[in-house]
Amino acid sequence: MVLTTNRAYRLRGVGRGSPAALAVRRLGGGRVLLRQGATRVVSTGAPGIVAGLRGGHVRFVAVYDRRAARSPGALAGLLRRSQ
């Protein structure tokens, strides 16, 4: 898993600090995969890429190996270890 919180790294113009509505519109998906505290981890429509939304803004964008995280629980474990 590669998780970035740097504002310079963007996916389709969406990165840390971007409005959540913009992220859902540009990245597609938007389905909540899991909650981790106050952060909602949502699908992006692209396989293996998720975004963390909190307080109406993007908190992080992450890329992961779908074979390593086949379920939301496994994805939660990867996210917990990467932060």
Give me the number of domains the chain comprises. 1
| pLDDT value at residue 27 | 86
Q: What is the C-alpha separation between 67 and 33, in angstroms, rounded?
A: 16
pLDDT tens series, the chain, 83 aa: 788 788 888 888 889 999 999 988 898 878 898 898 899 999 888 888 889 999 999 999 988 888 877 888 888 888 887 76
Q: Using an 8 Å Cβ cutoff, are 35 and 41 in contact?
A: yes
| pLDDT value at residue 4 | 79
Helices vs. strands in the chain: H and E counts, helices first:
2, 5
What is this structure's pTM?
Answer: 0.82
Instruction: Tell me the residue range of the domain where 36 lies.
Output: 2-82
| pLDDT value at residue 16 | 92
